[in-house]
Structure 1
Amino acid sequence: MLCYIIRPSDMTEEELSSPECIKTIKVQEIIVSRWIFLERTHRPR
């Protein structure tokens, strides 16, 4: 899983250091799964 923290572009460093910034920040999560080609898993030896 990947999480992107999205904050307003006009937010200052001072605002980011305050717990109040949580109200304006958004978190976007992306679920990623690993997959293997079928050809690779069923190769004759």
Structure 2
Amino acid sequence: MRALIAATVGLVAALALVLTMSAVGAPPGETSPKPLLTTVPEHP
């Protein structure tokens, strides 16, 4: 029973965090025009 309560509390906390972040919105700013490197450069 304690495991079920702990899982419920964790789920409620995670949901509250998601809703809070959604309400606050994205921070102001722009994305970088430069692409990110997705591969490791090869060394000779």
TM-score interval w.r.t. the shorter chain? Answer: under 0.3
Instruction: From the two aligned structures, give the one with the greater helix fraction.
Output: 2
TM superposition score normalised by structure 2: 0.21
Higher relative contact order (CA 8 A, sep 6+): 1
